[in-house]
């Protein structure tokens, strides 16, 4: 199973993969863009050959720019991971700023700082979007797990708790603790059944309809 942690290559090989990926994206996207542009700018009857010519002239260049940007970004990212010894979004943001700054260095300090700012802001936006999407998808997964175990959990637990609290509260379930009957969540799934089993807890045999654990056997004869 591939979790987000082990989907990417470890750091030195990651640079090569990122260069290749960036070049592919730039060449592919650049081909499409320049194909359409070339087709638009050619005389009719020569549209296809004009488009192909535009692609041949421009796509490698666009791919190369993307590859340089991606390679530098990945190198800085790996260097920061190595220096800080942890992986978090700040690495990406600072690497984006460094890449933008380095690529504009020959135009002077002012242009370089402006490019660094633009690069940092861009990466911050991308990382922010990634975090939001991660929260959304993992929230959906957490809801699914919570729904299945609903009847065994104490009814005071609201939906949408982060996973650490979930992990801690699970061992406390099904030992008969009914925290509070005021929760709307509990009422969705088994309030009626819970009350029934309370009435019957004195009898020796009962039909188990709820998902609670069976009553602990008593050793009286």
6-34 burial: b if 16+ Cβ within 10 Å, else e: eeeeeeeebbeebbeebbeebbeebbeeb
**x/- letters, 59..78, toward other proteins (CB under 8 A):** xxx-xx--xx--x-------
Give the residue with the Cβ less far from other proteins, 22 or 151. 22
Give the residue with the Cβ less far from other proteins, 19 or 157. 19
126 binds other proteins (CB under 8 A): no
Using the rule CB under 8 A, which residue among 39, 52, 122, 124 binds other proteins? 52
Q: Identify whether the C-beta of residue 96 lies closer than 8 Å to the C-beta of residue 73.
A: yes
Long-range contact pairs involving 88-96 (C-beta distance under 8 Å, separation at least 24): 89/124, 89/127, 89/130, 89/131, 92/123, 92/126, 92/127, 93/120, 93/123, 93/124, 93/127, 94/120, 95/123, 96/120, 96/122, 96/123, 96/124
| Least spacing, CB of residue 183 vs other proteins, in Å | 46
Using the rule CB under 8 A, which residue among 8, 17, 132, 213 binds other proteins? 17
Give the residue with the Cβ less far from other proteins, 71 or 119. 71
| Least spacing, CB of residue 19 vs other proteins, in Å | 4
23 binds other proteins (CB under 8 A): yes
156 binds other proteins (CB under 8 A): no
* Contacts of 57 by beta carbon, 8 Å cutoff, 6+ apart: 34
CA 206 to mean position of chain CA atoms: 46
Q: Identify whether the C-beta of residue 166 lies closer than 8 Å to the C-beta of residue 142.
A: yes
Provide the 10 A C-beta neighbour count for residue 103.
17
Please choose, out of 48-56, 133-141, 190-198, 207-215, the segment that lies near other proteins by the rule CB under 8 A: 48-56
Using the rule CB under 8 A, which residue among 40, 41, 56, 208 binds other proteins? 56
Task: List residues near other proteins by CB under 8 A.
Answer: 15-21, 23-24, 27, 52-53, 56, 59-61, 63-64, 67-68, 71, 106
């Amino acid at each position: 199973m591939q979790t987000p942690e082990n989907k990417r290559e470890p750091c030195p090989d990651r640079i090569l993969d990122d260069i290749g990926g960036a070049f592919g994206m730039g060449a592919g996207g650049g081909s499409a863009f320049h194909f359409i542009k070339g087709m638009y700018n050619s005389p009719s009857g020569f549209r296809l050959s004009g488009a192909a010519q535009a692609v041949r002239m421009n796509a490698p260049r666009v791919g190369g720019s993307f590859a340089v940007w991606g390679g530098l970004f990945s190198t800085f990212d790996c260097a920061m991971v190595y220096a800080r010894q942890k992986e978090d979004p700040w690495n990406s943001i600072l690497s984006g700023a460094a890449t933008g700054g380095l690529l504009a260095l020959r135009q002077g300090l002012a242009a370089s700082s402006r490019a660094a700012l633009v690069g940092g802001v861009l990466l911050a936006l991308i990382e922010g979007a990634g975090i939001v999407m991660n929260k959304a998808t993992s929230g959906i997964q957490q809801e699914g797990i919570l729904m299945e175990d609903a009847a065994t959990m104490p009814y005071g637990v609201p939906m949408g708790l982060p996973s650490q609290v979930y992990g801690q509260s699970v061992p406390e379930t099904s030992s008969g603790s009914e925290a509070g009957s005021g929760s709307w969540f509990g009422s969705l799934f088994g309030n009626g059944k819970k009350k029934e089993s309370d009435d019957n807890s004195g009898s020796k045999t009962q039909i188990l309809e709820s998902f609670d654990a069976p009553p602990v056997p008593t050793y009286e004869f």
